[in-house]
Amino acid sequence: MTTPVLVAENLTKRFSGLVAVDGVDLRVGRGEILALIGPNGAGKTTLFNLLAGRLRPTTGRIVLEGRDVTPLSLRERVRAGVVATFQIPRQFAEVTVEEIVGLAVHYGGGDRDVDGLCAEFGLAPQSQVGSLDLHALKMLEMCRAVAVAPSVLLLDEVASGLDHHERGSITERIRELAAAGTAIVVVEHSVDFIRSLCTRAMVLSFGTVLSEGSVADVFSDKVVADAYLGRRSS
Amino acid sequence: MSGAPVGRFHSVRGLAVGCALLVVVTVVLALGDDSYGITFWRTILMTVTLAVTWNLIGGLAGQHSFAHPIMFGVGAYVGTAVLGAAPAMPLWIVVILGALAATAVSVLLTPAFRARGPYFAILTIAASEGLRVAGNAFFPGGSAGQYVPITASPSDSGLLVYAIVITLVAIVLHHVVDESPIGSGLRMLAIDESAAAAVGVPTTRLKVTAFVLGAPCVGAFGVVYMAGATFVDPNTVFNLNYAVLAVLTTLLGGVGLLWGAVFGAVVWQLVTKQLSDSIQNPGIATMVNGAALLVVILVLPGGIVGTALATLPARWRDRFPVPRPRWTRKAGARGEAVPAT
């Protein structure tokens, strides 16, 4: 792995008596695509939200390019360079595509041309968000995230609900972003999508790291298979 | 053009036409000798100002503020105090001082934005009512009020000039905000605040901006009201009805739409007057008015202007192409630098 861009150290998140994420360490380097996988309830979404700044960790810290960003708010973290997409894109029905992308550029600290960004993601700038189909909504999520020129891009089930062709176009865009040096963390359920896209995988189970390594190694790990089938590893 | 926004972005030409109409009515009335008509038009302009400034925070930002009576009353009472100290003070200076005082008070109220949704609304109601009660107890004259010691009382026509200027300032201000990234950011946070923050929108800063920007116009109108009535009392100038009026008229015209707020304010006052003229019993007139408003809100949830724009046939829509927001063309150039790590 290249020099890590984002480092999470001993991240723990407790909700009352429930420990959703328990002492997780995570590193992702420039140009790397890391998959966060695990069965339902493994803590993927909580870890994702901790990295994005939507949740504050109970203990542990998150370091972005040497800077401790743990105390930063969601917006401050966006401006620092950590941007996350939503699993279910928000339906800003009456807002236009160019407004959302423009806002991301204006307030996020980017310097990209709005029309150029929209064209890059196959979006018509003047379309109302309410008129977009799921694929276009996912592209808009990616587009507004990329608009702030992030160092780290967090993608939450970006391919879910899309057909094979649409997944292909998303995969292509993610690869291009990684090739340009963006560190990418993907939460995804589709094994095929992960195999075709990610360079490394981290498997969570009951809030802890069950396995970590190359995608091929992780999916050939018997402990991982057991976790996915619902059996507790011994 | 499919999926284009309807009634969202108002062209400068539309702004000019709308403002010109208001100015023409004002000039015609000011040059005539219909004292009642002038006073009634001033009330309409006051309602327009209340509705347009409320639309900034309540319509665009989705923050249901009931703080208008505070700004209005502060304007009226500061104006009274200034004239008490200097009765010959030119009214335009008093209006500016009232506007500044209302703005200062609105800044003091901004911690209320720590609360969200109904809690924010309740906080602003509590602040309005608290100030009214405090005024009854501690302001000069108490609940009985006081006469305004104004020596050079302006004519009805003179007050109308102040009213139209303040109204035009409120309308232009709304237009400018609506056409800027602030307007788009406000619309976005009104729908989903955390999603707006995820895009980088400074949600609290924008809410405070929308709230504070409307305050000077409301405060200035408090001064105009004071100069016209030459009498102020807390139960009148801090009356929660100013907030309710702003909300109702905006709902009637179309929440989030500048010309919806303007249209709703004008229609509301005209209908209310017509009903009070036709129905002798004021209680029944109010009930009919309320019932009519209820029907409009239920049948036309987007308000009269909002619903009319949404149902406009495509061929009509194509005749009036909607201009794109210009700020997105230069968003990158105006982007703020990321602070050094």
pLDDT for position B327: 78
Contact indicator for A141, A85 with CB cutoff of 8 Å: yes
Give the whole-angstrom CA distance, residue B243 versus residue B101: 18
Q: Check CB contact under 8 Å for A114 and B331.
A: yes
Rounded to a whole number, what is the distance in Å from the CA of A200 to chain B's nearest CA?
Answer: 26
Q: Among A32-41, A76-85, B324-333, which stretch is predicted with the lowest mean pLDDT? A: B324-333
Rounded to a whole number, what is the distance in Å from the CA of B196 to chain A's nearest CA?
Answer: 9
Q: Which residue has the higher pLDDT, A148 or B168?
A: B168
Q: Check CB contact under 8 Å for A102 and B328.
A: yes
- Chain mean position to CA A155: 3
Q: Check CB contact under 8 Å for A66 and B341.
A: yes
pLDDT for position B8: 53
pLDDT in tens, B7-60: 555 678 888 999 999 999 999 999 988 889 999 999 999 999 999 999 999 999
Q: Check CB contact under 8 Å for B184 and A111.
A: no
pLDDT tens for chain B, 341 residues long, are 333 344 555 678 888 999 999 999 999 999 988 889 999 999 999 999 999 999 999 999 999 999 999 999 999 999 999 999 998 899 999 999 999 999 999 999 999 888 888 899 999 999 999 999 999 999 999 999 999 988 877 888 899 999 999 999 999 999 999 989 999 899 889 988 888 888 889 999 999 999 999 999 999 999 999 999 999 999 999 999 999 999 999 999 999 899 999 999 999 999 989 888 888 887 887 788 788 878 888 888 888 888 888 887 777 766 665 567 777 776 654 444 333 33
H-helix or E-strand spanning residue B236: helix B234-237
Domain covering A1-80+186-234 assigned CATH 3.40.50.300 in the classification:
yes
Q: How many CA atoms lie within 13 A of B120 on its CB side?
A: 20
pLDDT for position A1: 57
Structure confidence at residue A229 as a pLDDT band (50, 70, 90)? low
Is the ipTM here above 0.85? no
Q: Report the b/e string of B183-217 with b at 16+ CB within 10 A.
A: bbbbbbbbbebebbbbbbbbbbebbbbbbbbbbbb
Q: How many CA atoms lie within 13 A of B334 on its CB side?
A: 15
**Residues in chain B closer than 8 A to A111 (CB atoms):** 332-333, 335
Q: Check CB contact under 8 Å for B188 and A92.
A: yes
Structure confidence at residue A95 as a pLDDT band (50, 70, 90)? confident
Rounded to a whole number, what is the distance in Å from the CA of A130 to chain B's nearest CA?
Answer: 8
- Which SS3 state, helix, strand or coil, does residue A234 take? coil
Q: How far is CA B335 from CA A26, A101, A110, A138, B332, in A?
A: 31, 12, 6, 24, 5
pLDDT for position B3: 38
- Which SS3 state, helix, strand or coil, does residue A75 take? helix
Kindly state the average pLDDT of the residues A108-113: 79
Q: How many CA atoms lie within 13 A of A206 on its CB side?
A: 6
Structure confidence at residue A108 as a pLDDT band (50, 70, 90)? confident
